[in-house]
């Protein structure tokens, strides 16, 4: 089918009677102009020209009223005072009671609201999460938004075979180096478990190595137990070039599930957190209740519990080290109440995450939560609507750290490299929504309207304003297809998943980050059992 003609919009219409030769010349000029514009869009943009970038400010969307925010805050304080949290380790009990919390005869730690307010007053704000490369530093303040990976998937999604298989350390490294090439994925928190590394300490060490070897962006990891911290920090110091350099620029943070909802401390994770605070590592205080299962079924109630648990974490951290960098990680998830199964791709999940973003902004704390999760098993249309809905709402709500934003399928059970690559396009569109609409004198376009409408060509295609805004205001997908049906057929009917597979192969066959010096890598391999062979990392 031919493209519809845009009548009266051409600046190069042939003169009457010029015949076929003139018409052909005009078509050639139009095609040449279009090719030039496409080439311009494909060229890398200077940082000051890019329409989107890490840290755009959201916050325009507020699912909670001011009264609703205040009621959730008051309910969370009441929960801390009257219900409290169980199962703190002895060291945690000492730190919390030493700061003014009360341990009841039932063993639960109850936290007076005055203590919460005191700790909020000294809690870290406006923190920076560093990358190994400073250009990837993320400044968490206000409603600045950053998107990245996260999770603990146990499977990889094979889109070509349409099967799930166990995830490996090679998969983790591959995901890290793909992330290094993606403009709109701003950080790399471990999204999968290395199931081929069966020793828990070796798994923690190899997770750090694979992530930090694969990307210069900020990395997030977890630890199985507190005894693993000392050797893990030794490895991290080697990567950083020494403990002093690490403490000056900590490029790894700990995703710490310090609570087991509802309202219990996770004893071993708390011990891990205490060790890492002393080691100078930023922590994500992660409360991950599931509405209708381990959190109240109401959306407001799930937010109340998550806020209460994270406020307990704020007290815990600042009782040990006032001002230590910690992210307010309200991560409540949603259940499909018909079955009890997790439903991370639901509209309710999007609302939960946006509401949690509003609460972290209420406290003025750096905040993070989960979005972009697909219940779909493959990167299909269902995955697209599930991932886009929550990512856009999280960004519009001003969430500082949007975790699990790309690549996650089967309600966090599967990770997909092709979906990670396609997610870069998706996040580009989400970030454009976050950026919003600027209303300036020039943007109102009255001068352009006068020039076009009063004796002008009657269209804006070649206008200076249009050309100036082509790259500065508009975001174009790298793999998404916007051709007409005719052009699509002429190009061989390209398939989106096939293009993602091809892009994955291109990256993995030819891109090996070399920011870790060869001598450093040799020293690490001499000290620790690294499961990735040297040739796997391009050495």
Q: 3-class SS at 187?
A: strand
Tokens for 254? 């700990």
User: Cβ distance 80 to 72 under 8 Å?
Assistant: no
Cα–Cα distance for residue pair 246/389, rounded to 1 Å? 37
Task: State the Rg of the chain over Cα.
Answer: 26
Torsion (CA) 304, 309, 312, 316 in degrees, nearest 10 = -160
Average pLDDT estimate for 237-255 = 98
CA dist 145 and 395 (Å) reads 6
The pLDDT tens digits for 390-436 are 999 999 999 999 999 999 999 999 999 999 999 999 999 999 999 99
- Rounded Cα gap, residues 331 and 129, in angstroms: 19
Query: For the segment 425-459, what is each residue's pLDDT rounded down to a tens digit?
Result: 999 999 999 999 999 999 999 999 999 999 899 99
Position 33 confidence tier, pLDDT thresholds 50, 70, 90: low
Residue 70 CB neighbour total at 10 angstroms: 12
Which tokens is 422 given? Answer: 């396609």
**What per-residue confidence (pLDDT) applies to 42?**
56
CB 170 within 8 A of CB 536: yes
Residue 45, token pair as written in the block = 């943009």
Residue 126: strand, helix, or coil: coil
Residue 50 pLDDT grade (very low, low, confident, very high; cuts 50, 70, 90): confident
CA distances from 463 to 399, 410, 441, 453 (A): 37, 47, 17, 12
pLDDT at residue 5 above 50? no
pTM: 0.91
Contact residues for 532 (Cβ-Cβ < 8 A; gap 6+): 169, 170, 173, 206, 209, 210, 213
Q: What contacts 440, CB < 8 A, 6 or more positions away?
A: none
Encode 65-116 in three state secondary structure: CHHHHHHHHHHHHHHHHHCCEECCCHHHHHHHHHHCCEECCCCCEECCHHHH
Q: How many residues does the chain have?
A: 539
pLDDT reported for residue 2: 39
3-state SS, residue 4 = coil
DSSP code of residue 13: P
User: Measured in whole angstroms, how far is the alpha carbon of residue 154 from the centre of its chain?
Assistant: 19
Q: Return the pLDDT at 38.
A: 59
Q: What is the mean pLDDT of the chain?
A: 92
Q: Which residue has the tokens 């304080």?
A: 77
The three-class DSSP label of residue 404 is coil
* pLDDT tops 90 at residue 40: no
What is residue 219's predicted lDDT score, i.e. its pLDDT? Answer: 98
Separation in Å, CA 46 to CA 49, 51, 52, 53, 428: 5, 10, 11, 11, 16
Is the pLDDT confidence value at 14 over 70? no
pLDDT at 36: 55
Q: How far apart are CA 492 and CA 35, in angstroms?
A: 19
Angle 340-346-349 (CA atoms, 0-180°, nearest 5)?
A: 90
With H, G, I as helix, E, B as strand and everything else as coil, classify residue 528. Answer: coil
Higher pLDDT, 21 or 50: 50
Query: Quick one: pLDDT at residue 341?
Result: 87
| pLDDT, tens only, 170-193 | 999 999 999 999 999 999 999 999
Higher pLDDT, 464 or 25: 464
What is the CATH architecture of 58-435?
Answer: Alpha-Beta Barrel (3.20)
* CB of 439 closer than 8 Å to CB of 175: no
Residue extents of the structural domains in the chain: 58-435
Q: How many CA atoms lie less than 13 Å away from 5 in the CB half-sphere?
A: 6
Instruction: Give the count of alpha carbons within 13 A of 398, CB side only.
Output: 19
Q: How many CB atoms lie within 10 A of CB 126?
A: 13
- State both tokens at 174: 């591959």
Instruction: Give the per-residue pLDDT at 340.
Output: 86
Average pLDDT over residues 353-359: 98
pLDDT of residue 471: 87
Percent of the chain with pLDDT over 70: 91
The answer to whether 512 touches 494, Cβ cutoff 8 Å, is no
Strand partners, 265: 259
In this predicted structure, what is the pLDDT of residue 166?
Answer: 98
Count of helix runs (H) and strand runs (E) in the chain: 19, 20
CA gap 424, 407 in Å, rounded: 10
pLDDT per residue over 82-141, tens digit each? 999 999 999 999 999 999 999 999 999 999 999 999 999 999 999 999 999 999 999 999
Confidence of residue 35 (pLDDT cuts 50, 70, 90): low
CB within 8 Å of 538: residues ≥ 6 apart: 512, 514
Among 310, 322, 404, 317, CA closest to 359: 310
């Amino acid at each position: 089918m031919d493209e519809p003609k845009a009548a009266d919009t051409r600046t190069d219409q042939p003169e009457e009677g010029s015949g076929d030769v003139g018409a052909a010349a005009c078509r050639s000029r139009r095609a040449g102009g279009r090719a030039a514009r496409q080439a311009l869009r494909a060229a890398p943009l200077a940082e000051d020209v890019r329409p989107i970038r890490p840290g755009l400010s959201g916050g325009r969307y507020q699912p909670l009223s001011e009264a609703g925010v205040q009621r959730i805050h008051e309910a969370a304080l009441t929960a801390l005072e009257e219900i409290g949290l169980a199962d703190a380790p002895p060291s945690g009990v000492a730190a919390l009671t030493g700061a003014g919390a009360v341990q009841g005869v039932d063993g639960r730690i109850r936290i007076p609201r005055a203590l919460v307010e005191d700790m909020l007053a000294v809690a870290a704000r406006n923190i920076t999460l560093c990358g190994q490369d400073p250009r990837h530093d993320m400044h968490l303040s206000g409603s600045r938004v950053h998107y990245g990976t996260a999770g603990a998937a146990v499977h990889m999604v094979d889109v070509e075979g349409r099967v799930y298989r166990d995830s490996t350390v090679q998969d983790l490294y591959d995901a890290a180096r793909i992330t290094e090439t993606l403009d709109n994925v701003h950080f790399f928190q471990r999204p999968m478990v290395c199931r081929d590394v069966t020793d828990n300490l070796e798994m923690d060490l190899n997770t750090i190595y694979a992530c930090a070897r694969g990307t210069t962006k900020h990395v997030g990891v977890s630890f199985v137990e507190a005894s693993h911290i000392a050797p893990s920090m030794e490895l991290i110091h080697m990567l950083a070039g020494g403990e002093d350099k690490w403490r000056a620029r900590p490029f790894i943070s700990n995703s710490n599930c310090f609570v087991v909802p509802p309202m219990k401390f996770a004893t071993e994770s708390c011990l891990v957190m205490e060790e890492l605070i002393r080691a100078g590592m930023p922590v994500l205080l992660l409360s991950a209740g599931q509405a209708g299962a381990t959190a109240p079924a109401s959306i407001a109630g799930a937010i109340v519990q998550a806020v209460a648990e994270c406020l307990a974490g704020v007290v815990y951290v600042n009782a040990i080290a006032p001002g230590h960098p910690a992210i307010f990680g309200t991560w409540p998830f949603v259940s499909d109440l018909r079955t009890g199964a997790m439903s991370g791709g639901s509209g309710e999940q999007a609302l939960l995450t946006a509401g949690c973003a509003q609460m972290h902004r209420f406290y003025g704390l750096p905040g993070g939560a989960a979005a972009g999760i697909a219940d779909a098993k493959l990167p299909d249309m269902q995955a697209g609507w599930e991932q886009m809905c929550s990512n856009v709402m999280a960004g519009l709500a001003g969430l500082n750290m949007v975790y699990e934003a790309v690549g996650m399928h089967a309600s966090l059970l599967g990770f997909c490299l092709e979906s990670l690559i396609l997610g870069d396009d998706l996040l580009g569109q989400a970030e454009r929504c976050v950026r919003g609409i600027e209303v300036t004198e020039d943007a109102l376009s009255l001068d352009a309207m006068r020039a076009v409408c009063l004796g002008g060509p009657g269209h804006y295609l070649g206008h200076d304003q249009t050309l100036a805004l082509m790259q500065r205001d508009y975001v174009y997908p790298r793999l998404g297809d916007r051709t007409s049906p005719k052009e699509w057929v002429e190009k061989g009917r390209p398939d989106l998943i096939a293009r993602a597979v091809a892009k994955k192969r291109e990256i993995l066959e030819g891109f090996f980050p070399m920011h870790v010096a060869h001598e450093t890598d040799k020293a690490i391999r001499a000290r620790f059992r690294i499961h990735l062979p040297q040739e796997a990392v391009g050495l």
